[in-house]
Amino acid sequence: MRLAVNRGSDAGEASSLAALPGLCCQAAGGDAAEAQVLTAAWLLLYEAAAITDNIEDRDPPADWWAQSGSAAALSVATGLYFSACQALIQLEAALPDLRTAREVRDEMLRRVLEMCSGQHLDLTQPRPTLATYWQVAGAKSGTFFGMAGWAGARLATTDPQTLQGFQEFGVQLGLLIQILDDLKEYQILEQRAHENALDPESLPDLGRSLPAAYVREVAPPDVVARFEQLLAAPTATADAGAQIVQTIERFGGAAYVLAELEVKRLKALEGLESAGARPPARDDLLRLLAAVYPLD
């Protein structure tokens, strides 16, 4: 399961997601400008985690390290992790309140460890149950975006309900992004089949996805066994990909994915409500949510 902040072509959404810590700070009554160093640390952490995630999952390399190899990429990731730590130390100089700077630094580092444990679970459970799926998604994407919500708000307030609300908004946003990232894998499968580009190396690993975990949860053992065979070899036959999707749909998998998407969106909205998020930043956060998961 990739840390679900993927690369694509929509620069508009790029800038809006990067603004998450600042918007939460502002919506909590603070000055978004005070969130610049925090945002830098958060983005550095993301870049580092994305590289190590890519290598550990044995995904196709990014263009910039395709030639130099994973060892060089790991070296860059190490540098980025320590750069993030350096930025967190710089919070003490950037913020008017030393206690706030230290709390944010310590809490973010603690949450990075939480993400690491999520990654470890992800690596050791290549065919997760539904419970494990949510544990991994929560520890990785949920924690990463929840961290931005909490830390941004913490620059403005110490009120527990406000902090919990912005954290919840971030967590649910992260889970939404994770589910949608999973769905992209099926889009890639469909596209590859259409192009007849069924090289196993280029195919997504669907086994860790939410629809796959759902089938494991509800389908009878013989169906699950056949499903796992299809997942292991999605190019074995011309219609293997279609059989995978049909199995998911036959057992209500599409409806389940929809239900989870809608519940996450609802919980994100409740988080903002509970936090007492203030306009205009609240409206920007709502737009950010809508950009990630548009309403029909």
Contacts with other proteins, residue ranges (CB under 8 A): 5-11, 13-14, 17-18, 43, 46, 130-131, 180-181, 183-184, 186-187, 190, 211, 214, 217-218, 245, 248-263, 266-267, 270, 291-294
- Treating both helix axes as pointing N-terminal to C-terminal, what angle do 240-250 and 221-232 enclose, rounded to 10 degrees? 150
Q: State which residue, 46 or 150, has the beta carbon closest to other proteins.
A: 46
Q: What is the DSSP letter of 280?
A: T
CA 80 to mean position of chain CA atoms? 19
Distance CA 279, CA 103 (A): 26
Q: What is the DSSP string of 154-202?
A: HTT---HHHHHHHHHHHHHHHHHHHHHHHHHHHHHHHHHHHHT---GGG
CB of residue 29 to other proteins, shortest distance in Å: 26
For other proteins, give the closer residue by CB, 169 or 256.
256
Which residue, 95 or 248, has its beta carbon nearer to other proteins? Answer: 248
Give least dist CB 243 to other proteins, A. Answer: 13
CB-wise, 12 or 96, nearer to other proteins? 12
C-beta separation of 123 from 59 below 8 A: no
Residue number, 70 or 134, with CB nearest to other proteins: 134
Distance (Å, whole) CA 200 – CA 159: 51
Q: How far apart are the first and last CA of the chain?
A: 27
The distance of closest approach from Cβ of residue 231 to other proteins in the complex, given in angstroms and rounded to an integer, is 14
CB-wise, 47 or 92, nearer to other proteins?
47
Contact call for residues 35 and 209 (beta carbons, < 8 A): no
Q: How far is the CB of 124 from other proteins (least distance, A)?
A: 20
> Smallest gap, in angstroms, from Cβ of residue 207 to other proteins?
16
